[in-house]
A and B are shown apart, each in its own frame.
Chain A
Amino acid sequence: MSGLLFTGSEWDFPTLDRAYAAIEKIALEDLGLDVYPNQIEIISSEQMLDAYSSLAMPLMYNHWSFGKLFAREEAMYRAGYSALAYEIVINSSPCISYLLEENTMTMQALVMAHAAFGHNHFFKNNYLFRQWTNAESILDYLAFAKRYVAACEERYGRDEVEATLDAAHALMDQGVFRYRRPPRPSKERVLEKHRLRMAHEESAYNELWRTLPAGIETSAAPPVPDPDDEFEPDARLPEENLLYFLEKNSPALKPWQRETLRIVRNLAQYFYPQRQLKVMNEGCATFVHYTIMNTLYDRGLIDEGAWLEFVHSHTSVVFQPEFGDKRYYGINPYALGYAMMDDIKRIAEAPTDEDREWFPGLAGSGDAFAALRYAWANYRDESFIEQYLSPKLMRDFRFFSLFDKADHGAYRVGAIHNERGYREVRRNLARQYDTSGDPNIQVAGANLKGNRTLMLEHRMNRGVPLHNGAKEMVLAHVEFLWGHDVKLEEVAG
């Protein structure tokens, strides 16, 4: 009897179960991964499109921009321009991964290894995710947000809610705390608030309300704002989180609008780490699936056909076109991430003299997986590249750095992949993954006593200004939220 987990491309649930168990064994025992409980959901292609268009979350409030995204994705998919992703994985506990029903069994195994173990381990262990997102509560929060926005639409009209959400979405990139965590109420505060709310409900109980038809969610009614709630009487300035500042201090907003801003802000904060961890997250997941699939093959659990299919898919995922190529769309995070993980393994196990010189601690340490797990837990893209990108990889990718001055008609080649240039290329590449690439916009002050003008400040990085057209449009949104004039000044940072 053969020990194969499956043959051919058809899958069914018992086979998935068997494959999952085999993958889990390798992931936990050989790779030493530490994961949230997994919940794997099989969905159809249409549901995959649905998920795409709501920021890949299983629940989301309604907004036209998601409909636009769906229409666009659907047209692209139907026209055959883009294939659907094989999987979507959500940073929550339990960790939800979506598998597409059209995948072959090999792909399902690959995706389980990639998402349910690779991404899952990364979500649970990376310090940014641990620090910034609450995996346990995100789904509950989204359910609340959806209900709340729907209730607001009903009560205040779709147009009002739409205008508020439009404005909030425009500021989403400026709606995160980059350096500090938002003040959180202490456990006692939360309990006390809960007790007060119960007391209020008790005192406001009315027998008549019991006759309301079932299904009316009273909890979705906009809550009475608590003036003490995280309120800072004198906003600390400058403030980097525009949405937070507006939510707390705007003279024009109604309570439900503040809550809506808060929802968008919380979402932005939830997604913020993902933007800083693209390379590492995908690199980790790709490395995990590569290792697991090869181990499965080595142990005789999958056949050559499956292995070849996996290799084909893997190589197209980590393909990096060169910059002049028509297919070039920036650096492929899968390619760079996977190459770096694989490179760390190589350095740990079979270092060259060059590696010993560059990575004295890591080179030849032997336990590659331990080194990787350490890197996955303690770095983000920028610091990871700054720390681990080896000269060999720079040569493999043929990285080179360009200097671009706006009033100059040509780019100047700075450092290239040679002895003199390694450090500069690496530094520039690392900086490219730093969020300082986002415009640094701060609230500089507000004239609250006089004409109530809000002063914003763009601290330019090396003199690069904001795009003018976009700036005007976003400022119109800020004015809507602030209710009075808004001025934006661009200063040298």
Chain B
Amino acid sequence: MTHFVDRRLNPKGKSLGNRQRFLRRARTQIREAVQKSLKDSAVADLAKDRKIKISTRGTKEPRFRLDPRAAGERDFVLPGNREFDTGDEIKKPRAGEDGGSGKQAADSGESEDDFEFTMTQDEVLDIFFEDLALPNLVRTTLKETPNNAWRRAGITTTGSPNQINLVRTMRAAQGRRLALRRPKLADIGALEAALEAAEREVAEGRGDAAQIASLKEQIARALAKRKWVGFIDPVDVRFNAFTEQPVPTSKAVMFCLMDVSGSMGEREKDLAKRFYMLLHLFLRRRYEKVDVVFIRHTHDAQEVDEQEFFYSRQSGGTIVSTALDKMLEIQRARYATADWNIYAAQASDGYTQTGDARHCVDLLNGEIMPLCQYYAYIEILDEREMEVFASEDSGAELWRAYRTVAELWENFATKRIARPADIFPVFHELFRKTEAAQ
């Protein structure tokens, strides 16, 4: 009877079903936690495993248990007495100050605090997408891992039989046969002919018997050698090797433009952030390398890091065209169109200095749009304004101006948003294209 079973190769994730049930059960808490966690994380960090801390509200597992603190009496035994004698008194730790004397009150119920666990990238994205109301097809497109292609990577000595490289195998075998001096059949034939001749001579009574013996021995040795120096040997076998390599895709740069003047509050910035996250996620799936450039502007534009982009404030007027100028300047200096696909995402509350909108349109039509793969503009309103501007045609100066650009360029998208679910339609064109391409 054998006693050992190797289970290591059994399929993993036996508790996956339980995990899904748990995530579903704690859905509300997990959603809150994920949203909070997304708020605090970088745009490019969306698709990563992350730690989530949730409260156990809703996932409590109550059992009847005793509460000796409430009433009644009991005796219990502890180890480690150093100082006490019968009749001594020990002050009880006050409630909330647990642990004054170890965990002796443990039986009054383990506390189920918040607890932390890790959610995988897919689980986080599911929740992120749910808020954004992404269509299912888009969800799968985004989650898809990039394709890899198999490429030749020389020759190896190990592999599967269907990858045998016959030419190289035979070449190796020949080299070995030469090096080890494997007797050829012709050589043996010659020896056998010589033997036959010698035997004939002996039969005729004039040959040398010793020569026959020597020839026989030579033949035997040659035959033996043919046996152990095989025509082909396992060491000769060569295989074609392949390695997996990502399909080369070109690089992309994503310009995030945002108005940071006083009118952009916490809510507006959070919406804008989700907008950038989604675009970044999309780009990351399509391109091997994605750079993100943050440009903020008031009456003057600056390139800043992400932290400053989302969290610092500046006062001043609002001149949108400065940001466009800045973007062009950076693009010219660092992102040549030959190497980079250029995407731009602009978020604003729709106000700019009078007359500046005209300038923006000129810049866009004349210089920026010919460079860009896609340009998405969102105008962040609150719910009340959303009702006022129900029609696409009415709006502030910048909105009306951008509408004219959108009519000219297919890859220019504009949208007013007030809720996370409004964001996705901005990218509608973008995603439709990839669907069509597939």
Binding site for B on A (CB under 8 A): 13, 16-17, 20, 37-44, 46-47, 49-50, 53-54, 62-68, 70-72, 74-75, 78, 98, 101, 116, 158, 162, 166, 169-170, 172-174, 320-326, 328-331, 397-407, 409-417, 420-421, 425, 428-429, 431-432, 437, 439, 441, 458, 460-468, 470-471, 473-474, 477
Q: Are B75 and A401 in contact (CB under 8 A)?
A: yes
Which of A326, A409, A467, A474 is in CB contact (< 8 Å) with B92? A409
Given A71-B22, A412-B87, A421-B86, check contact A407 B71 (CB 8 Å): yes
Q: Which of A67, A98, A399, A465 contacts B70 (CB 8 A)?
A: A465
* 3 smallest beta-carbon distances between A and B, as pairs: A322-B80, A67-B22, A463-B72
CB-CB under 8 A from B62, the residues of chain A are 170, 470, 473-474, 477
Per the 8 Å Cβ criterion, residues 1-27 of B in contact with A are 1-8, 10, 12-15, 17-26
- A399 & B18 in contact (Cβ 8 Å cutoff): no
- Per the bound structure, the CA–CA distance linking A166 and B22 in Å amounts to 12
Taking a contact as CB atoms closer than 8 A, the residue among A17, A72, A321 that contacts B80 in the complex is: A321
A-side contacts of B21, CB under 8 Å? 62-64, 67, 158, 162
Contact A42 B5 (CB under 8 A): yes
Q: In residues 70-121 of chain B, which contact A (Cβ within 8 Å)?
A: 70-82, 84-92, 99, 101-104, 106-109, 115-118
A interface, by DSSP: helix, strand, loop or mixed? mixed
Q: Does the CB pair A411–B90 fall under 8 Å?
A: yes
Q: Which residues of B contact A331 (CB under 8 A)?
A: 77-79
Expressed in whole angstroms, the minimum distance between the Cβ of B72 and any Cβ of chain A is 3
Bound Cα distance from A316 to B71, whole angstroms: 38
Other A-B pairs beyond A50-B12, A68-B26, A398-B80, 20, CB < 8 Å: A17-B3, A47-B12, A50-B15, A53-B15, A64-B21, A70-B15, A75-B51, A158-B21, A326-B102, A328-B80, A328-B104, A330-B103, A397-B79, A397-B80, A401-B77, A403-B74, A413-B85, A432-B76, A461-B74, A466-B65
Q: Nearest Cβ in chain B — how far from A208, in angstroms?
A: 31
Q: Are B7 and A404 in contact, with the CB atoms below 8 A?
A: no
B4–A40 contact, CB under 8 A?
yes
Q: Which residues of B contact A410 (CB under 8 A)?
A: 89-92
Contact A402 B14 (CB under 8 A): no
Q: How would you classify the secondary structure of chain B's contact residues: helix, strand, loop or mixed? A: loop
- CB within 8 Å of A: which B43-65 residues: 51, 59-65
Q: How many residues of B contact A (CB 8 A)?
A: 70
What are 6 residue pairs bridging A and B, where the CB atoms are less than 8 Å apart in the complex? A17-B4, A41-B5, A47-B8, A174-B64, A402-B75, A439-B66
**Chain A residues closer than 8 Å to B60, beta-carbon distance:** 473
The verdict on A402 contacting B64 (CB below 8 Å), with A39-B5, A437-B107 known, is no
Give chain A nearest CB distance to B354 CB in angstroms: 56
Would you call A465 and B71 a contact (CB within 8 A)? yes
- Cα of A66 to Cα of B64 in the assembled complex, Å: 20
- Most chain A CB atoms below 10 A, which of B10, B15, B61, B80: B15
Also in contact, A67 and B20, with CB within 8 A (given A398-B82, A467-B65): yes
Q: Are B86 and A414 in contact (CB under 8 A)?
A: yes
Contact flag A42-B79 (CB < 8 Å), given A421-B86, A474-B63: no
A329 to B74, CA, bound (A): 19
Select one of B4, B67, B69, B87 contacting A13, CB under 8 A. B4
B106: nearest residue on chain A (CB-CB)?
A330
A287 to B88, CA, bound (A): 36
Contact A329 B103 (CB under 8 A): yes
A409 nearest CB neighbor, chain B only: B92
Decide: A54 and B77 in contact? CB cutoff 8 A. Answer: no
Known: A37-B1, A410-B92, A439-B64. A464 touches B81 (CB 8 A): no
Q: How far, in Å, is B59 (CB) from chain A's closest CB? A: 6
In the assembled complex, how far is the CB of residue B172 from the closest CB belonging to chain A, in whole angstroms?
33
Asked if B68 is an interface residue, CB under 8 A from chain A, the answer is yes
Cα-based distance from A417 to B22 in the complex (angstroms) = 48
Pair B15/A324 contact, Cβ less than 8 Å: no
Taking a contact as CB atoms under 8 Å apart, the answer to whether B80 and A70 are in contact is no
In the bound complex, CA of A43 to CA of B10 (Å): 9
Q: Which B residues lie within 8 Å of A101 (CB)?
A: 8
Residues of B within 8 A of A63 (CB): 18, 21
Q: Which residues of the other chain, B, contact A428 by a CB distance below 8 angstroms?
A: 75-77
Q: Which of B254-294 contact A (CB under 8 A)?
A: none
| A residues less than 8 Å from B88 (CB atoms) | 412-413
Closest to A322 in B: B80
- State whether B89 touches A322 (Cβ < 8 A): no
Find out whether the CB atom of A173 lies under 8 angstroms from the CB atom of B18. Answer: no
A460–B74 Cα distance when bound, in Å, is: 11
Provide the residues of chain B in CB contact with A429, threshold 8 Å: 77
Q: Shortest beta-carbon distance, B195 to chain A, in Å?
A: 53
- Whether B106 pairs with A41 at a CB distance below 8 angstroms is no
Chain A residues with CB below 8 A from B68, complex form? 404, 406, 464
Contact of B8 among A44, A170, A173 (CB under 8 A): A44
Are A471 and B64 CB-contacts (below 8 A) given A38-B3, A42-B5? yes
Tell me which of A54, A70, A322, A415 contacts B79 (CB under 8 A): A322
